[in-house]
Amino acid sequence: MKNSVRLPAFAKVNLCLHVLGRRPDGYHELRTIFQAIGLSDTLELSVLREPGIHLAVSDRALSAGPDNLVYRAIQAIRSEIGFRGGIRAKLTKRIPVARGLGGGSSDAAAALIGMLRLTGQERDFSLPRLIEIASGLGADVPFFLFGGRALAVNRGDEIYPLNDGSKRTIVVVSPSGIAVSTKEAYEWLSAELTNRAKAPNIWKFCALCWSRQGAVSNDFEVPVFSRHPRLGEIRDALLQAGAAEAALAGSGSAVFGIFRNPAQARRAARKFPEDSVFVVETLSRERYGRAMGWRAAV
């Protein structure tokens, strides 16, 4: 068993996101393609002699108690691996909150992986059981056990890894003063779902997402952009600056553009001086796994 581990918790964007409707269990049925990107938080875990979970978070606006997904992830897996000691967790946030980039879910997955690495059980623990634990924490959490590019169905927790595309440079614009919670976004979208045509099957969905007619799409754009027009302006500005594609990230409010030329991406980033802007790369599954020190993603 190690005394401490330190690992990244990477963000994601949704290259395609289609919401089919509300399920009987209250969640929404999704078809989406996740893509891991190089923007990340950092999580450090260390063993303590005193019992309990002691979490410190760099963003004081976030809970450091049982409401935090890192705390819940550590709590959820402790009994599974038979760990009875104390844990100190230090979470350094860089992924903006309530921007649709999956920061909280990624932090939770990093905590699960970190606990297995800390206790030396990363090769022996049942992967199906780990996915089950991750799914219980949040719909996006299972994806962050693997990274790369993946199709997600059901409520977003059933993951099918896809071939990694060519590495691309991503410009993520986190708009100043605009935050959209997942709950808000789904409430805004709900009225439109009743009038939506039947969704394509899973593999036709993948084909549509990667057809020449449009490599990225997001059902949340219409309701979110109607309430926050500046987000649509940011998307259009990224396209005008040379992005091959641009879209809302998840349920928002971050907007991302995909660039083939890193220099062009850096020039585009300078067009948003009042916002938080990140120029990062897409991450393959292999690169993701190496960064996490984790065999399941490789």
pLDDT band for 298, please (50, 70, 90 cuts): low
Looking at residue 2, its pLDDT comes to: 81
Does pLDDT of 257 surpass 90?
A: yes
Alpha helices in 241-280 (DSSP H): 262-269
Point out the catalytic residue in the list 140, 164, 219, 275: 140
What CATH number labels 169-281? 3.30.70.890
Judge whether 275 counts as a catalytic residue: no
Does pLDDT of 128 surpass 50?
A: yes
Span 113-130, mean pLDDT? 94
Given a contact cutoff of 8 angstroms between Cβ atoms, the answer to whether 268 and 281 are in contact is no
Does pLDDT of 199 surpass 60?
A: no
Cα(130)–Cα(149) distance, rounded to whole angstroms?
Answer: 19
pTM: 0.91
Residue 161 backbone phi and psi in degrees, to 5: -60, 140
Looking at residue 165, its pLDDT comes to: 85
pLDDT band for 43, please (50, 70, 90 cuts): very high
Point out the catalytic residue in the list 12, 41, 93, 157: 12
Least Cα distance to 43 among 89, 106, 103 occurs for: 89
Cα(253)–Cα(297) distance, rounded to whole angstroms?
Answer: 28
* Helices 69-81 + 103-118 axis angle, to 10: 30
Quickly name the fold that domain 4-163 has.
Ribosomal Protein S5; domain 2 (3.30.230)
Question: CATH 3.30.230.10 region(s) of the chain?
Answer: 4-163
Residue 253 backbone phi and psi in degrees, to 5: -105, 5
Looking at residue 35, its pLDDT comes to: 97
Judge whether 204 counts as a catalytic residue: no
* Per-residue pLDDT tens digits for 143-195: 999 999 999 998 888 999 999 989 999 999 999 999 988 888 888 887 666 55
Does pLDDT of 202 surpass 60?
A: no
Peptide bond into 58 cis (omega under 30): no
